[in-house]
Amino acid sequence: MPDSVSSANVSATGSRTSLKAVTRVAFLGGLGSYFEYFDFFNATLAAGLAWPLVFFSGLPPAVGLALSIFSYALTFFTRPVGAYVFGHFGDRLGRKYVLFLTLLIMGIGSIAIAALPGSASIGAAAPILLSVIRLVQGFGLGGEAGGASTWVLEVAARSKHRGFWTSWVQAGSPAGLATAAIFASSLLTNLGHPAYIAWAWRVPFVVGGVAAVVGGFLRYRLMESPLFERISKAHKVERFPASEVMKKQWKKMLLLLQLNYPEVIGTSVTVVPFAILYMNQLHMNPSFSSSATVFLGLGALTATVIVGILSDYVGRKIWFILAGLLGAVFAYPFYLVLQTRNEPLIILLMFGWGFIVYLENAVLPSLLTESYETKWRYSGSSLSMQLSIFISGAVIGFALPAVLATSHGVYANVWPSVAGITIVMCLASFIAAIFVKDTTHVVIDDTETESATAGGAEGADE
């Protein structure tokens, strides 16, 4: 950890933000991404193993699986709406109050899924209600990551280690992925596959949901962003910040939204659920298939910690370039290694893949938030991130199920297509990263100068 944040920030009242306060905000800022990926793993595993039988019983297996994955992916489609709405209010009313609501919505949604009866009990209402809940969860998720990154960045505005502190927001995602994988693997190992399908898949949703609700209330008790308080007292708050940033900085937004593909596609297409399902068809132990994902999370967490520290010294941009390029290069060999069925080698593969595609994870929150002015930072960073996830969701919700539906239940027939999806998306991110402006030294704590210094892309319109 950097040795000091003695100059972390000066608040609107002139007092300095303590190391303890910055640490608390950074930790609770990361809680949202922790819950997001804890939910992500549990939902994708349940969508691959349990939901086809619980909510889509009576359909052909391939169709039930495709609809199940589509139901999981619905959260991606309402995220931009959530980013717009919560971004608007986050830039109008304050950061922490809106972030309290986002966690509350996400947590209650998770608990609702855990309590939802299957189609055997309530018929077609079950998949319909599942879809509605996932849409509402996506709405809450849309206002989470960009807002949390904005909150942390502005609390640590004068620190020399902004990249490090904002990386805590994204460090929650691999940590959530790893612990969810451990949890699910434990359930599958100790209770067995039939018990997991019957009821045990619901347990992680209850645990994660309760944790998210508690985290929301803890957020509410912490300090507001000093930068937001400053522009609020100076009456410089935008009336329609989300609309304004989309109208005035759309070119920048279009470029920045390409940067998150390696992480999202590299996890949600390449590994979960497809690699897990493929390993099961290769006659590998189902408990190993899920537990191997723990090492994906550990590799991702390792990359996030290392890059979070290094980004304040070598910059932000290089990590996006590396993640896109390496993700494209290794997407095809990834499945060749799976076919060896060598468990130690696959564990090493998962760790390495997680490390590669998460190289951009630590610097995403700092680059996105440093690219926008305080008056519309919540809106701009949220929309940039969630529009990216919306596009990824279209791939996950339509392209992946379509590929799986044509597999006739034999995943050996379609893994080259899945690898191809990953390669295309990673290359798109790589190309965009070349044109992005590095924001490491942008001044973001002075409302009088930031309009002249803030920038996220070459040639972006102001």
What is the token pair recorded at 438?
């590095």
Domain encompassing residue 144: 19-453
Q: How confident is the model at residue 446 (pLDDT cuts 50, 70, 90)?
A: low
- Enumerate residues 6+ apart whose C-beta is below 8 A from 403: 414, 417, 418, 421
| Contact assessment for residue 380 and residue 243, using Cβ atoms and an 8 Å cutoff | no
pLDDT value at 460 more than 50: no
pLDDT of residue 431: 97
Cα-flanking dihedrals φ and ψ of residue 249, to 5°? Answer: -130, 35
CATH code, domain carrying 29: 1.20.1250.20
Q: Residue 207 falls within a domain, yes or no?
A: yes
Q: Residue 427 falls within a domain, yes or no?
A: yes
Q: Residue 211 falls within a domain, yes or no?
A: yes
Q: How confident is the model at residue 5 (pLDDT cuts 50, 70, 90)?
A: very low
Q: Residue 4 falls within a domain, yes or no?
A: no
- Enumerate residues 6+ apart whose C-beta is below 8 A from 90: 98, 99, 143, 147, 150, 378, 379, 382
Q: Residue 105 falls within a domain, yes or no?
A: yes
pLDDT value at 156 more than 50: yes
CA-angle at 259, arms to 172 and 211, nearest 5°: 20
Per the model's pLDDT, the better-predicted residue between 322 and 222 turns out to be 322
Q: Residue 460 falls within a domain, yes or no?
A: no
What is the token pair recorded at 117?
């009866």
- Tens-digit pLDDT profile for residues 167-186: 999 898 888 888 888 888 88
For range 342-354, the mean pLDDT: 96
Q: pTM, whole model, 2 decimals?
A: 0.85
Q: Residue 13 falls within a domain, yes or no?
A: no
Per the model's pLDDT, the better-predicted residue between 162 and 7 turns out to be 162
- Tens-digit pLDDT profile for residues 365-414: 999 999 999 999 999 999 999 999 889 888 877 888 788 778 777 788 88
CB atoms within 10 A of CB 64: 19
Four-residue CA torsion sign, 169, 171, 177, 182: negative
- How many domains does one find in the chain? 1
3-state secondary structure of 436: strand
Mean pLDDT of the chain: 88
Q: Residue 238 falls within a domain, yes or no?
A: yes
- Quote the CA–CA distance of 138 and 191 in Å, as a whole number: 30
pLDDT of residue 60: 85
Task: Region of 123 please: left (phi>0), alpha (psi -120 to 50) or beta.
Answer: left
- Quote the CA–CA distance of 312 and 332 in Å, as a whole number: 33
pLDDT of residue 146: 92
pLDDT value at 286 more than 90: no
